[in-house]
Amino acid sequence: MKSKINRLLKNLLNTAVASFKFRGIQFIITLSFTFITILAMLFVGIVIYNKFSTSLENNATLSTKQLVNQVNSNIEYYLKSTKEVSNLLDKNIYLNQSIPNSKLQDQMNVIQNIRSDIASLAVFSDKGELIIGSPNSVLKDKVNILDQEWFNSALNKSDNVIFSLPHVQNLFDGKHDWVVSLSRVIYFYKDNVRLRGVLLVDMNYSTIGQLCQNISIGKRGYIYIVDSDNNIIYHPEQQLINIGLKSENRQDYLGSYLENSDEGKRLVTIKTVNYTNWKVVAVAYMSEILDFKNAITSFIGWILFVCIILIVFIFGFISSKISHPIKQLEESMKMVESGDFNIYIDVKGEDEVKRLATAFNLMISKVRYLMGQIVIEQEAKRKSELDALQAQINPHFLYNTLDSIVWMAENEKSDGVITMVTALAKLFRISISRGKNIITVREEIEHAKNYLIIQKLRYKNKFKFEIIAQKEVLEYKTLKLILQPLIENSIYHGIEYMVDEGFIKISVSITNGKLLYEICDNGLGIEPYKLKELLDYRVKSNTGSGVGVKNVHERIQLSYGTEFGLKIESEMEVGTTIKIWLPLVKE
């Protein structure tokens, strides 16, 4: 199983490598599509990333602001509620005829019991004497109230409620609680004398801590509180600050800004608390946002990477599907190029390519057929040319002619000799005619005439002949030696065995835009069955009769096409007409 997979993978890799070497359609499709897709993805990725990171930063700023507001309002609410306690006490104390009394003590105890966050309540005279307090505790020896900061600030700002810095409340015996003190000037009656004093409400420091403690900004962000002089009121790492292992910068501004610290860029948001001059400061680490951004960047990066690889393979696959049959076609064409026509392409693929392959196959088969045809035709042509060559110097005819000349010379028929030799000379000049295949109609007729002259002498005027040629045809070109074999045929097979005198008529004319030779004789005629076979290539006549005729027909058709050639009409005992159709050629 494993080796199978290995093999599959190996094959795939090989095809992939092989296909990428091919700088063709596949390569172009894969490359361009991949490129375009990557561009599109990068664009989308970057846009999304930008949008995301901007909104991330905005959200961080916003949520920090909201946190600060929330903490702020919590603290405000808490301080306000404590202030209301002091208002209540102030009113009650003022309404009392004389303090201390047990009723007021009870009230104070109740308040202190209900509000567990209030460490102590106490009223001092402006001389620093404890008038009444809850829990009903004793002042420590040698404690000088007049030295206390909360006492003095309350007296100095008599119309205001004063919130102190966190401090250890060292007034009462056995108590060392960290508190934030509220102090205010109050007026009270003691023994019916209106006196000025200070009301002290100590809030447990830990309560203020609790308001900020559970607030977290990211993993490392935090909230702290300072007063207007940047003394720290609450800090999550208060102990470290107390012993000097940590410190905070002065925060003199309100609002949000970025600052650089040892631990990186941080977003600081500051808001003032009502009723006090406290400031809530939130610190958020930008590096956390950055971490998140990096995580997203790498996530997008991974997705891009995976997609790019997938796309390369998918487009590689698609393009190979498109180009594979085309490549197959191309290979087949190469084979054809190198001369192998005996192929058949079996292409499976898209419709277009299939049609292309079918057309190609069709074309190849046609080419194959035509090639065969050409080979056959060339062979035939060569053969007929050879025959024509032979006809030029027919040794049999020459022998017979020379024999006749000798015979005439012996009988002292010098006229005949002269005529014959002259005709023979002319005959040969035309038939050789410097090796040319094409001669003028005039020459062809001349040749036929000379031949007829010779034959007429030889056959002792057994026939007559007539040659009629339109004047205008004479300068047209014609294949040479096409009349002579037909005349020979007429004499040997038609006229030789005739009892009566024979007659051969040759005419040349332009008919229907073609050159037409007509050879008429009044000979024996050709038997119909022979007539049929006479012009048929498929019948190989070995007897010699009609070979010349067939040869002429073949030569004409090979040279000018099948619309030209011979037409033979023959009637037994009446005669034969052979029509030779040729194209009008005038060079």
Stretch that binds other proteins, among 25-33, 155-163, 169-177, 565-573 (CB under 8 A): 169-177
For residue 193, what is the enclosing H or E element? strand 193-204
Q: 54 or 242: whose CB is closer to other proteins?
A: 242
Reference 180, options 141, 225, 127; nearest CA is 225
> Residue from 39, 40, 258, 310 that binds other proteins (CB under 8 A)?
310
CB atoms within 10 A of CB 449: 19
Provide the residue type at 54 as one letter.
T
CA distances from 503 to 457, 466, 526, 528, 552 (A): 14, 8, 16, 21, 22
Closest CA to 256 of 210, 217, 209, 208: 217
Q: Which CB sits closer to other proteins, 18 or 295?
A: 295
| Cβ nearer to other proteins, comparing 51 with 140 | 140
Residue 350 binds other proteins, judged by CB under 8 A: no
Task: Name the nearest CA neighbour of 238 among 178, 284, 279.
Answer: 178
Provide, rounded to whole angstroms, the least separation between the CB of residue 292 and other proteins.
11
DSSP 115: -
From candidates 165, 336, 356, 498, binder to other proteins by CB under 8 A: 165
The distance of closest approach from Cβ of residue 351 to other proteins in the complex, given in angstroms and rounded to an integer, is 16
Angle at 239 between CA 238 and CA 243, to 5 degrees: 120
Answer for which of 5, 17, 193, 499 binds other proteins (CB under 8 A) is 5
Contact status: 48 vs other proteins (CB under 8 A)? no
User: Which of 71, 109, 105, 108 has its CA nearest to residue 86?
Assistant: 108
* Cβ neighbours, 10 Å, residue 304: 15
Among 6, 9, 354, 436, binds other proteins (CB under 8 A): 9
Helix (H) and strand (E) counts in the chain:
14, 18
- Joined tokens for residue 460: 């002792």
Closest to other proteins by CB, 185 or 311: 311
Q: Which of 176, 460, 538, 540 binds other proteins (CB under 8 A)?
A: 176
Angle at 77 between CA 75 and CA 79, to 5 degrees: 65
Tokens of 585: 């050629």
Is residue 262 involved in binding other proteins (CB under 8 A)? no
User: How far is the C-alpha of 400 from the C-alpha of 397, rounded, in Å?
Assistant: 5
Does residue 7 bind other proteins (CB under 8 A)? no
Give the DSSP H or E segment for 401: helix 395-410
Q: Determine, following the binding rule CB under 8 A, whether residue 174 of this chain makes contact with other proteins.
A: yes
Verify binding: residue 146, other proteins, rule CB under 8 A: no
CB 238, min distance to other proteins, A: 6
Shortest approach of other proteins to residue 280 CB, angstroms? 19
Cite the DSSP H helix spans in 180-222: 205-213
| DSSP assignment letter at 96 | S
One residue of 1, 17, 193, 245 binding other proteins per CB under 8 A: 245
Query: Judged by CB, which is closer to other proteins: 178, or 459?
Result: 178
* Residue 17 within binding range of other proteins, rule CB under 8 A: no
Longest dimension (CA), the chain: 202
Residue closer to other proteins by CB (options 45, 209) is 209
Q: Which is nearer to other proteins, 213 or 390 (CB)?
A: 213
Among 110, 118, 123, 112, smallest CA distance to 79 is for: 118
Give me the 375-414 binding string for other proteins, x by CB under 8 A, dash otherwise. Answer: ----------------------------------------
Tell me the number of residues near other proteins by CB under 8 A. 38
Give the shortest CB-76-to-other proteins separation in angstroms.
22
Which residue's CB is nearer to other proteins, number 193 or number 243? Answer: 243
Q: Smaller CB distance to other proteins: residue 164 or 490?
A: 164
3-state secondary structure of 499: coil
Which residue reads 């599109």 in tokens? 40
Per-residue string for binding with other proteins, 223-242, x by CB under 8 A?
--------------xxxx-x
- Please say which residue, 141 or 563, places its beta carbon nearer to other proteins: 141
Which of 2, 141, 192, 499 contacts other proteins by CB under 8 A?
A: 141
Closer residue to other proteins (CB): 12 or 572:
12
In this chain, which of 42, 95, 168, 398 binds other proteins, going by CB under 8 A?
Answer: 168
Nearer to other proteins, 120 or 522 (CB): 120
Q: How far apart are the first and last CA of the chain?
A: 80
CA-CA distance, 120 to 111, in Å (whole number)? 10
Q: Please report, to the nearest 10 degrees, the dihedral formed by the alpha carbons of residues 131, 136, 137, 143 taken in order.
A: -20
Helix 351-392 to helix 547-560 angle (10° resolution) is 140
The two tokens of residue 191 are: 């023994």
Kind and range of the H or E run holding 182 = strand 177-190
Residue 25 or 139: which CB sits closer to other proteins? 139
The verdict on 178 binding other proteins (CB under 8 A) reads yes
Toward other proteins, which CB reaches closer, 179 or 566? Answer: 179
> In 3-state terms, the chain is what percent helix, strand and coil (to 5)?
55, 20, 25
Give, in order, the Cα–Cα distances in Å from 196 to each of 158, 185, 335: 10, 7, 121
Query: Which residues, numbered 285-304, are part of the site for other proteins (CB under 8 A)?
Result: 295, 298-299, 302-303
Binding-site member from 167, 293, 381, 505 for other proteins (CB under 8 A): 167
C-beta of 142 vs 540, nearer to other proteins: 142
Per-residue binding letters, 181-220, with other proteins (x by CB under 8 A): ------------------------xx--x-----------
Q: Does position 313 bind other proteins by CB under 8 A?
A: yes
Find residue 168's DSSP bridge partners.
178
Choose, by CB under 8 A, the member of 6, 8, 274, 527 that binds other proteins: 8
Q: Which residue has the tokens 């609450």?
A: 234
Q: Which residues bind other proteins (CB under 8 A)?
A: 5, 8-9, 11-12, 140-142, 165, 167-168, 170, 174, 176, 178, 205-206, 209, 237-240, 242-245, 295, 298-299, 302-303, 305-306, 309-310, 313-314, 317
